[in-house]
Amino acid sequence: MQTVRSSAGAFIVSLFGSLLAVSGLASVLKLRDRTTRVGEKWFAMAHGALAMNCLAFRGRVQNAFPLLFVAHAVVAILFHLGDDFVVPLKFPKALGGGKKTKRAAGAKKPAKKSSSKKAPSRTSSRNKSTRRG
């Protein structure tokens, strides 16, 4: 009971409630438009909720602000921007950001030659059986 009455307990309860609200909102978005990519929306909204909870409890919960607030806000913004936004990061050679192969550098694979002969169209076995009778 002491944990629930503390500021950290209130932070957890608030966070749980906001994540439930995010889950409900993502469900409504999916019901409204079946083509919505709910995973990205849910992830962005969840990190937005985490950032807002860190902001709301900045005076009561130690280390919630500004580092966690900024981290979750940046993640929420990047997921909200979607696939069209590319973060220009350069990785060191040790992490695989060095040499590129010829294919990765833009060399194209030669196109396949298409045959000019077309296969004769086949009638289905059902049509053949009805023609005999």
* Residue at 39 is within a domain: yes
- Average of pLDDT values for 19-29? 91
CA distance 129 to 83: 53
pLDDT bracket for residue 109 (50, 70, 90): low
Q: Is 94 part of any domain? A: no
pLDDT(106) > 60: no
pLDDT of residue 20 exceeding 90, the answer is yes
- Percent of the chain beyond pLDDT 90? 17
Kindly state whether residue 108 falls inside one of the protein's structural domains: no
What per-residue confidence (pLDDT) applies to 19? 92
Using alpha carbons only, give the angle 53, 50, 27 rounded to the nearest 5 degrees.
115
Q: Answer whether residue 37 is part of any domain.
A: yes
Contact 89, 103 (CB under 8 A): no
Q: Give tens-digit pLDDT for 116-132.
A: 566 555 555 555 555 55
Domain range for residue 24?
2-81
Does 127 map to a domain? no
Report the length, in residues, of the chain: 133
Most confidently predicted of 33-37, 81-85, 101-105:
33-37
How many independent structural domains does the chain possess? 1
The whole-number pLDDT of residue 95 equals: 66
CB 71 within 8 A of CB 89: no
Mean pLDDT of 40-47: 89
Judge whether 65 lies within some domain: yes
Residue 57 lies in a domain: yes
> Do 26 and 42 touch, CB atoms closer than 8 A?
yes
42, part of any domain: yes
Task: Name the pLDDT band for 24 (thresholds 50, 70, 90).
Answer: very high
